[in-house]
A = this chain, B = another copy of it.
């Protein structure tokens, strides 16, 4: 597994697994086989995913390294606490995406094909700071999702209309 972390503001000299190990140790938790399997899988792809998909992926691996459902849930939540993953809710589904080693970004969400497109805009952060200042609010983060139709889906608008998606 290779990692190309050229962006971001945290120390990215460690692989996700190493960073997770640090986190676990700092909390007196253990580096288990299952946690390793999960981190490996999660950081071998950059797509967003939900708990079920991860479970499927683990089961369908050549080396069928399956992990139980409760352990997947438990580990995902640890990965969020560790700052390796970020959780968000997309049409009532909890999805996860890489946080560690990737720069802050926001999303365009296609309501037809469910595609998530990342973008980053310094202006969003500026607005966030300006608004926070105005309200004496201590901002620690934000989430911006722009929803609508992606290029592909708006091209096939007539098809979409037929399907009542517009």
Residue ranges of A at the interface with B (Cβ–Cβ < 8 Å): 89, 92, 94, 108, 110-111, 117, 119, 121, 123-124, 127-128, 131-132, 134-151, 154
Contacts and interface: CB of A to CB of B under 8 A. Distances in A.
Contact of A108 (B135, B148, B150, B154): B135
B132 A142 contact: no
A66 to B, nearest CB: 26
Number of copies: 2
A139 B161 CA distance: 16
6 contacts: A137-B150, A137-B154, A141-B148, A142-B145, A143-B145, A143-B147
B144 A139 contact: no
Contacts of A92: 89, 94
Contacts of A110: 137
Given A119-B131, A123-B123, A135-B108, A140 B144 contact: no
Contact of A124 (B117, B127, B148): B127
Q: Which 4 A-B pairs have the closest CB atoms?
A: A136-B151, A139-B148, A140-B148, A138-B149
